[in-house]
A and B are shown apart, each in its own frame.
Chain A
Amino acid sequence: MDGAGASALRTALIALAAVFAGRAIAGWAQQAAAYRASVSVKSNLRRRLVERVATLGPRWSSRARSGEVVALATRGLDALDAYFARYLPQLALAVIVPIAVVVALATSDLLAALTVALTVPLVPAFMALVGIASERSTRGRWHALARLAHYFTDVVAGLPTLKVFGRSRAQIERLREVTDEYRRESLATLRVAFLSAFVLELLAALSVALVAVGVGLRLLHGDLQLRTALFVLLLAPEAYLPLRQLGLHYHASEEGLDAAGDALRFIESGPGPAGPRLPVPGLRDGELRVEGVTVVHPDRDLAAPQRASFGVRPGEIVALTGASGSGKTTLLQVILGLWPPDSGRVVIEGRGGVVDLDQVDGESWRRRVAWVSQGPFLTPGSVAENIRLAAPDAADIAIAQALASVGLGDVDRSMELGERGSGLSSGQRRRVAVARALLRPGTELLLLDEPTAGLDAASESAVLSAVVSAARTRGLAVILVAHRPASLAIADRVVPVFAGRGVTGTLTPHAETGCAPESAPAGVPEDAR
């Protein structure tokens, strides 16, 4: 080689080095940017999903299976990585690169350019066909994982029960079925994905071969220069590569999009944003009235409660009684504004007139209400932390006093609880929840769902006298779901709650529930008043 050739070669080599470096850097920038985009989209969806499900209220959230939602919020949305980091950038390449390659080829060899231009559109056409066929099976894979998650959560939570009945080993068989189903559905989806990748690969390979053979033959006849032939041969596969890659990532991204679609469906489900809301009137010198409230459970042909009506004033204690299933708990949730009734209404009558609960902002209403549910929610953490869920600013001494007032003076407030309050007996858990409700600042209405279940007589009387003193000295209105004489005895009024046939809407009480006591039985053992 002569000097000019060597210098040209040197220039070419330097240019080549620059091209390689540029390519590597561009690859890095593209990946980093894509992953970052995916991270922020996932985080956004995750937060909105959990926020939505956490604020939907029991009527809607009871339909969301917690294991599925958790799986969706974590692994489900992770599949979006594939969409953002691989599919989207590839989609852009798949549009730009084939056009660029055809244009570049056209400058040196029109025939090869034409061959590529005619065969490239076949790839997306085939992809669309495969895509239509596989859409249903992709849904299968993600849903199978969600089912697995739900099944697993349910069985692990029920393991103690299964073990009692000697059925825990038998569940291994059932687990095998569920995991097998997951494997089969996953593979069914993937098989379609792999097959379509195969078809695309084949199509691309044949197209490139078509170009290569044409080039080779024309080269053989001397119609083509080696330089042009090499150029065409190197460039032609590049036209198909991004499309093939797109086909490869299409199915992975499909899964991510499917999960995102599910997340969005949750986010958009339930009631929409409320219209203009009225301010919540104070209960201090008014009355809360429940007027003919009925909640229908269509799947059980049941209305529970059916036409519940009563009122409660500050300083008053009303006890709700009724057989199990008559809708007492649901009624409390209606009063909380968490469960819209199917008919009837809850009103607050104050100096400013009558305001329907429907019309006020639920959150500001609930700031005046404290509720102790049947299975109080306790989270892993200390007893004090659990109490501070409702009263963030409560001082240690106030917490200690509140615990002592419900007969838990000997429970260490720094004691660490496990999940669902494990470490405490169920009666102790309930009393922690009562202490929490009593400490909640700004409370005007206290709702207690069987606060003394699981309590011995001494603890029961401590809890009840704490409730009575809250009503009498702090002027709280109290609604109490109660079964036992001691609880009924502190009530100013006892209101029976009935269930009825929901769909037919008859007035006859449900067969089983017609026997609720109309008032407190005589001869109650203790009177805390």
Chain B
Amino acid sequence: MHALARIARLALPVRGALGLALLAGAGAAACGIAPTAISAWLVARAAEQPPILSLMVAITAVRAFGIGRGGLRYLERLLSHDAAFRVLAALRHSAYARLERLAPSGLEAFRSGDLLARLVLDVDGLADLWLRVLLPYAAAAITAVGVVAFLWHAVPAIGGTVVASLLLAAAGAPLVVNTLTRRAERRIAPAQGRLAALAHDLLAGAPELLALGATPRQLRRFADLDADLASAEGRAASGAGAATLLAGLASGGATWVALFLGVAAVRAGMLDGVGLTVVVLTTLVAHDLVLDLAPASQHLPGLSASAERVLRVLDGVETAHEPESPAALPVGPYGLRIRGLCVRYPASARDVIAGVDLDVAPGGRALVTGPSGSGKSTLAAVLLRFLDPSAGSIELAGSDATVALSSLAGEDVRRAIGLCEQDPHIFDTTLAENMSIARPGASADEVREALRAAQLLDWVDALPAGLDTPVGEHGARLSGGQRQRLGVARALLAGFPVIIFDEPTEHLDEREGAAIARDLLAATAGRTVLVLTHRPELAGAAVWSTSVDLAPRG
């Protein structure tokens, strides 16, 4: 419930709208009860045949309340939904902002299907916290105070009975039900997360799973998880019914007792016939206030589980630490000085990189070789401050100063040092928009120049839609080599002073690879370049100012 309290506090910025919604909701609830009470009075009083004028006020009031109830309810729903959606949008923003800080290595604690479930679906469900729990309870409480005061004034014992039964229906029933279904409810959100993660996996690997003959087994796993979810939902469902049962019993019981006490009061001369009618019917409709509360509050444990899942993202631990007061970024061109660098992943017992030294002069070309798994991509992650080294130092040498990489803000580091990833993410949009991620204001000529250097321009020009061609999810409509070259073109366009190419010639044959290596070195003339590769032929493709081999020694 602590998690829910934290989420509930997120609504503080929209408290004005929520307050108005609360008033409208309480008003609507009151308007729902009043017509019945007044009608009862009207009918009972009319039987005594008073002059018509004395009834006109009541007749008009019944109508007014009927209309007022609809209008206020409309207002309440509009205000509360708008406010709740605003809170959710804010929650999504902060979650994304957190993910942005965590990426990429801190994200490995989550699976992407599960992240989707947390940030889109769990968050969407949290709207119910305000819409179906907090606001309805508060509105019902306000109205109930008025109703109980009225009944207390008429017959104190009936007022007391209604207090007891309303509490029973609004708080007792959910309490009983929660103890019954708490475990089932709390299972639902994680089960949905697991289901989403597996579904995501199944879809991402669909063709290969089919080919491996593994689809039926994975589908059976899906069916198992699904059965798990269905059983949790089924248990929770019987709880929903139980809450309704208890609320119904409380409502019926209270009305019955009110009738009993009312008859006694009439006998004792405390109440007349008109009063009895009004009091008993008011008791009956007063319970409409809480009839929907019990089934809604039953979802509290589920909401709390969702809240915890969302908060776990917000509280994720960073794997790279920002300096408290970052140093200023020196002026380029930049060189790099790496001494005794060791890197170890948090959960691992072994250094991925152990004691690497490397000097790259401004404008120099460094070749970093090593077999697969020797830590080349890890080196790139450390240079971009995605990961903290466990020992050793990296210095960025500018023309005016030399500073330790760890003293710079991560964003500044990435302004100076760029990366062409080994497996660049291609966004599900057009070629042009994928390019503009590198440099939003780039001119058409600059984009074409980058594409030409990556040997992609002829292909793009041959496309009927050219740069406006959509590339599909994860670039599914491109071949592996085209994705690679799009990544290279993007990195070239960005114009980083220091640029790291991680296996830039993968998925390309030797001739294409050598051509790209030549072109990208030409296109980055004057800039500092690191090429990470396992392909020995690249060693001969250019004149390297320095080189280092990451192959494990001994």
Contact = CB atoms under 8 A, between A and B. Distances in A.
A226 B273 CA distance: 11
A429 B40 CA distance: 77
Given A297-B477, A300-B469, A454-B422, A145 B120 contact: yes
A529 interface: no
Given A156-B112, A197-B73, A216-B46, A165 B494 contact: yes
B547 interface: no
B108 A419 contact: yes
B162 interface: no
A57 interface: yes
Contacts of A99: none
A333 B207 CA distance: 8
Most-contacted residue by chain B among A163, A299, A418, A459 (CB, 10 A)? A163
Contacts of A518: none
B256 to A, nearest CB: 5
Most-contacted residue by chain B among A161, A366, A375 (CB, 10 A)? A161
A307 interface: no
B234 A36 contact: yes
Nearest to A488: B509
B214 A205 contact: no
If over half of B's interface residues share one DSSP class (helix, strand or loop), that class is named, otherwise mixed; here it is helix
A511 B115 CA distance: 43
Given A156-B112, A191-B78, A216-B59, A172 B96 contact: yes
A416 B314 CA distance: 25
A76 B314 CA distance: 25
Interface string A154-170: 11111111111111111
A375 B62 CA distance: 70
Nearest to B46: A219
Interface residues of B, number: 168
Contact of A55 (B66, B215, B233): B215
Nearest to A483: B509
A469 interface: no
Contact of A216 (B42, B103, B256): B42
A458 B295 CA distance: 65
B438 A65 contact: no
B545 to A, nearest CB: 23
A161 B43 contact: no
B67 A202 contact: yes
A47 B428 contact: no
A484 B185 CA distance: 56
B117 A230 contact: no
Interface stretch (A112-120, A123-131, A256-264, A319-327): A319-327
B508 A483 contact: yes
B115 A156 contact: yes
Given A159-B99, A390-B213, A425-B377, A75 B66 contact: no
Interface in B201-260: 201-215, 217-219, 222-223, 226-227, 229-230, 233-234, 236-238, 240-242, 244-249, 251-253, 255-256, 259-260
Contacts of B19: none
Contacts of A428: 372-373
B92 A161 contact: no
Interface stretch (A37-45, A282-290, A340-348, A471-479): A37-45
A511 B462 contact: yes
A206 interface: yes
A226 B43 contact: yes
Given A47-B226, A219-B47, A454-B503, A28 B245 contact: yes
Contacts of A300: 463-464, 469, 477
Contacts of B446: none
Contact of A24 (B249, B372, B469, B535): B249
Nearest to B102: A159
Contacts of B425: 157-158, 160-161
Contact of B223 (A47, A204, A427, A484): A47
B74 A159 contact: no
A69 B482 CA distance: 27
B423 interface: yes
Interface string B441-469: 00000000000000000110011110001
B411 interface: yes
A59 B119 CA distance: 30
B519 interface: no
Contacts of A171: 96, 100
Contacts of A215: 43
Contacts of A148: 120
B92 A149 contact: no
A274 interface: no
A25 B260 CA distance: 22
B277 interface: yes
A454 B256 contact: no
Contacts of A333: 207
B536 interface: yes
A169 B415 CA distance: 13
B17 interface: no
Contacts of A65: 428, 473
A466 interface: no
Contacts of A25: 245, 248
Contacts of A149: 116, 120-121
A220 B55 contact: yes
Contact of A198 (B36, B47, B73, B255): B73
Contact of A54 (B82, B209, B423, B458): B209
Given A56-B206, A157-B112, A169-B100, A28 B242 contact: yes
Interface in A89-120: none
A316 to B, nearest CB: 20
B204 A66 contact: yes
A137 interface: no
A153 to B, nearest CB: 5
A389 B418 CA distance: 38
A213 B259 contact: no
A167 B427 CA distance: 13
Interface stretch (A174-182, A350-358, A395-403): A174-182
Interface in A13-34: 13, 16-17, 19-21, 23-25, 27-32
27 contacts: A31-B244, A35-B241, A36-B234, A46-B226, A51-B222, A53-B206, A54-B218, A55-B206, A56-B206, A70-B113, A152-B120, A160-B425, A166-B415, A167-B440, A171-B96, A176-B93, A199-B70, A201-B73, A205-B63, A216-B46, A216-B59, A323-B509, A325-B481, A336-B207, A454-B503, A484-B509, A484-B510
Given A47-B219, A182-B89, A324-B479, 8 more contacts: A30-B241, A51-B219, A69-B203, A156-B96, A162-B100, A197-B70, A427-B372, A456-B535
CB-based closest 4 A-B pairs = A324-B481, A20-B252, A205-B66, A427-B372
